[in-house]
Structure 1
Amino acid sequence: MVLKTFFMMSLFFIPLLTLASGSINSVWLLFLLYILSGLGMAGIGMCVMHDAIHGSYSKNKTINTLLGYSLNMIGANATVWKIQHNILHHTYTNIEHADDDLNAPFFLRFCPHAKHYWVHQFQHIYIWFFYSLSTVSWITTKDFVRLKHFRGKGFLSKKNEYNKAFASMTGWKLLYYLYALVLPMIMLPFSWGLILVAFLSMHFITGLLISVVFQIAHIMPTNEFPLPDSEGEMNNNWYAHQFATTTNFSPKSKILFWLIGGLNYQIEHHILPDVCHVHYKDLTKIVSETALEFGMPYHVKKSFFHAVKDHTKMLRSLGKKEMA
């Protein structure tokens, strides 16, 4: 974990520091450095902050807290992520209106219980563009919208908690824009428009990578989208629910496992979120055999590309009105 953290942090910061130093005068190098930084950004998100905010990076809570702020350094916000991901997504996986990952603009439909619009029939085509925009939305408006939304749901209810979170978020985002965009615009001999396009290319790659990795774990044909009964209760216990709503992919790829923080073992992560991802591969045999013993599903796609293909099929099915 320490080696991976150093690698991903370096991959993110070294290109940006090079850009901020004003030491390059090549357009192709401008884009290359931003794209490399985008890969580092995705690596920090999947390999460092994800474990840290779950409290599974280290036994030391202070280390987890500090490394959780790596999310703030890449333009997002640890406070919002903890509510949206740790609490809502992990507790209410694939439950409409409860799992915040299913909440989407009207032109995207991630759940068979969501309202259908005619435009959804094309979502399996245009979804990739919006996946690419996801971190651009994240660093601009999405965190602020979610922070206000979560306050309305009863979070951040302590005195001044919301105001402090809002101020902290604003400060972190301004700092991120300063070193990732403003300094390169000041120091480099290129037009601000060209630098902005290069900056956005970084986020297009990061957004696409992160969105696809997380989405192919849950928006799949084999996964369930259960609803609570009339009293708001779920039929399954929590562990059975996680098996029914989650899918692994590419279990034999050691390279992918290392690069994406073990998120190809989403089942192991969902039932053991407080375990560091470096252990998922060793746990999979125990978890899969336990699922078989108790008659629970254990969904696995043999490769990343098979998972993306099935995810696309699911998006296409969700775009059909008869699923409404």
Structure 2
Amino acid sequence: MSIPKFAASRSFHAELKARINNYFAEAGKSTTGGTSLFVKAVLLTTTFVALYLHLVFLTPPTWVALAECALLGLIGSAIGFNVMHDGAHGSFSKSRWVNQFAAFTLNVLGGNSFMWNMKHNLIHHMYTNVDGVDDDIDAQPWLRLSSTQPRYKLHRFQHLYFWFFYALLFIAWIFFMDYQKYFKGKIGEMPIKKMTAKDQSVFWGFKALHLGLFVALPIYTTGFWAWLIGFIVFTTVVGFTMSIVFQLAHTVEHAAFPMPDEITHKLEDEWAIHQIRTTANFATDNKVISWLVGGLNFQVEHHLFPTISHVHYPALNKIIKQACAEFGVEYNEYPKMRYAVASHVAHLREMGRQ
């Protein structure tokens, strides 16, 4: 399909930017993460490395090893949410190389920062929930996430079996989807830009490093079956945690799935309103969840201002809500995480029965 265009009016977005800029000017704060984010990053990465070393070289008892593998998955997800995500958006630090270093944690964990930038930053953040463009809502044929997608008989039960596919996300991502994008030169139907020699070396070099750190070395030190069980626990925890957090942001009952006009290829709303209509927050008053998921429960704020660090989202939340109320723009937010999960399940059930 042709790349869609947004409505021309941008008065709402301009007003939002003015209010947010005024907030930072009056507060005298930087838009980046600051000391608190650096401390969190050090804590998470140190814990991850310590768990990895203990599992690989000290071979704890089975029940301890399984618990540590699950914890390793949770910490790995938290690094993705808090460190990699802010770094990839350039909001971790004022320093470009520090942002790149933070983003490169994804490469160590088995993903690829180049593919992530194309898929997430450039496509998903621009054309959120637009079927045929946003690859994040393309889980076909296993899941039907939008009413514009074909419906198969198995989708009638997708609200029951989606847990299994979410658990497989990470292992499919690092061992299949990145390579699929690389060799096809496309993310969905959207072509990716040409990779430089540096991009190529990073892609293959870190894929090899990941295989060495998370496959070859653990097999050598612990044995194949011990590695396999531990690796499955680790990757399924990462996969499910990442899936559920990102899905609660866009595939819930109150999120919109706009499609461009077939003739003009234009979307109904200006970009900022499109982001609000296609996105939802959850559990924004829960400081524990906010800390663990790197503010990704404030998805509306993140989609409107992705280059601002998540540590500022609680303050931005109040400003944006007020602007939405004044402009008559519906703001989607679930007060509890369980309500968002229930809404996601209801959305899957509805998509499976339409």
Mean Cα displacement is larger for which, 225-234 or 143-152? 143-152
Q: What code does the residue aligned with 1:232 have?
A: H
Task: Give the Cα separation in 1 of the matches to 2:185 and 2:272.
Answer: 25
Mapped pair 1:220 → 2:252: yes
Q: What code does the residue aligned with 1:210 have?
A: M
1:167 Cα deviation from its structure 2 partner: 4.4
TM-score, normalised on structure 2? 0.86
Task: Give the Cα separation in 2 of the matches to 1:226 and 1:5.
Answer: 36
Structure 1 residues without counterparts, runs of 5 or longer: none
- Matching residue of 2:279: 246
1:32 Cα deviation from its structure 2 partner: 2.2
Mapped pair 1:269 → 2:302: yes
Task: Give the Cα separation in 2 of the matches to 1:31 and 1:154.
Answer: 41
Q: What code does the residue aligned with 2:128 have?
A: T
Contact 2:129 2:257 in 1 (8 A): yes
- Matching residue of 1:185: 219
Determine what percentage of the aligned residue pairs are the same residue.
34
Q: Which runs of 4+ in 1 moved over 3 A?
A: 148-154, 162-167
Task: Give the Cα separation in 1 of the matches to 2:296 and 2:224.
Answer: 36
Task: Give the Cα separation in 1 of the matches to 2:339 and 2:64.
Answer: 34
Task: Give the Cα separation in 1 of the matches to 2:134 and 2:183.
Answer: 17
1:30 Cα deviation from its structure 2 partner: 2.1
Alpha-carbon deviations, 1:125-172, whole Å to 9, x = none? 110010000001011011111233444744223xxx267544432321
- Matching residue of 1:316: 349
Q: What code does the residue aligned with 1:179 have?
A: L
TM-score, normalised on structure 1? 0.93
Q: What code does the residue aligned with 1:202 have?
A: F
Q: What code does the residue aligned with 1:246 have?
A: T
Alpha-carbon deviations, 1:169-206, whole Å to 9, x = none? 23212211212232222122xx4123211111011111
Task: Give the Cα separation in 2 of the matches to 1:311 and 1:81.
Answer: 24
- Matching residue of 1:175: 209
Alpha-carbon deviations, 1:82-101, whole Å to 9, x = none? 01000110000000011110
Task: Give the Cα separation in 2 of the matches to 1:246 and 1:199.
Answer: 33
- Matching residue of 2:38: 2
The DSSP-based 3-state class of the residue aligned with 1:263 is coil
Mean Cα displacement is larger for which, 244-253 or 193-202? 193-202
Which of residues 91, 110, 126 in structure 2 aligns to 1:91?
Answer: 126
Contact 2:133 2:190 in 1 (8 A): no
Alpha-carbon deviations, 1:255-291, whole Å to 9, x = none? 1111100011000000010100000011111010001
Q: Paired residues, what number?
A: 315
The DSSP-based 3-state class of the residue aligned with 2:193 is coil
Alpha carbons of structure 1 residues 192 and 212: separation in structure 2 relative to 1, 3 Å: same
Mapped pair 1:15 → 2:21: no
Structure 2 residues without counterparts, runs of 5 or longer: 1-36
